[in-house]
Amino acid sequence: MPFVPRLTGQNMALVAVFAGLIALSTTPPEFSLASGVPISLQTLAVVLTGLVLGAWRGFAAVLLYVAVGLAGAPVYSDGASSWGAFVGPTGGYLWSFPIAAFVVGWIAERIRTSANGIVGFSALMGAGLISLPIVYAVGVPWLAFSLDLPVFTAGSPGEPTAIAWGLIPFVVGDFLKVVAAAAVASAIHRSFPHLLSATSVHFAASALADEARDVASAPSEEAAAAANS
């Protein structure tokens, strides 16, 4: 049974901020493939959430993101109607996200994330890759059912199937996103070694506050001028 984190200020903040991160990941694409096709970073954010926060907090963060979106904040892909995304043909993916975060987080908790370098990264990537079958296993049948498409093989070749629409176009991108999520999660766990254990993360916060101070004080002249106008 994955450890159930206590309802501390730290845990509440982590869950909420990561829910916000997932919301942020759906804003107009910041990155695009060389061919100009925009990549939504939503799956990256969801996998990252699971890898960093573990099973229960990761689950809670994704659930919170979905709930905030349903309450009307425009945080679903392309500013889509939240209830529409939830109940419509692409709803399956959204339903799968909390489960995927939970499973990914559960595996991440079992990895010794304090290990530096390649070992930690590969293990995190393995954990992250588990998310893909989960997301597709819920998303694709849902799509097939809503639009009455065959899931696997069509009657004759060349006809669209749910797999062709809901899985194949995304596989490569999603794989890359998992790699990226694992890389970022690995960096996070190196800087904050206690995130996935039951002890509270105390001192790293002040270390990062120091760093934030250095970053903030560099362009502080014009930032201060702008902020105080």
The footprint of other proteins on residues 57-76 (CB under 8 A) is 64-65, 67-68, 70-75
- Examine residue 113 and tell whether it contacts other proteins (CB under 8 A): no
Q: Is 168 in the site for other proteins (CB under 8 A)?
A: no
Q: Which of 29, 80, 134, 151 binds other proteins (CB under 8 A)?
A: 80
In 3D, which of 92, 211, 207 has the Cα closest to residue 141?
A: 92
- The window from 92-100, 102-110, 144-152, 167-175 that contacts other proteins (CB under 8 A) reads 144-152
Of 26 and 96, nearer to other proteins (C-beta) is: 26
- For other proteins, what does the binding mask look like between residues 39 and 58, x meaning CB under 8 A? ---------x---x------
33, 87, 119, 172: residue in contact with other proteins (rule CB under 8 A): 87
H helix runs in the chain, sequence order: 9-25, 42-70, 82-87, 91-110, 117-129, 131-147, 162-166, 168-191, 203-217, 220-227
Q: Which of 3, 33, 37, 79 binds other proteins (CB under 8 A)?
A: 79
Q: What distances in angstroms separate CA 105 from CA 36, 82, 154, one per listed residue?
A: 32, 25, 36
Q: Can you spell out the DSSP letters for 91-105?
A: HHHHHHHHHHHHHHH
Among 33, 147, 168, 172, binds other proteins (CB under 8 A): 147
**33 binds other proteins per the rule CB under 8 A:** no
Q: Which stretch binds other proteins (CB under 8 A): 96-104, 118-126, 128-136, 200-208?
A: 200-208
Question: Residues near 87 by Cβ (< 8 Å), separated by ≥ 6?
Answer: none
How far apart CA 117 and CA 134 sit, in angstroms, is: 27
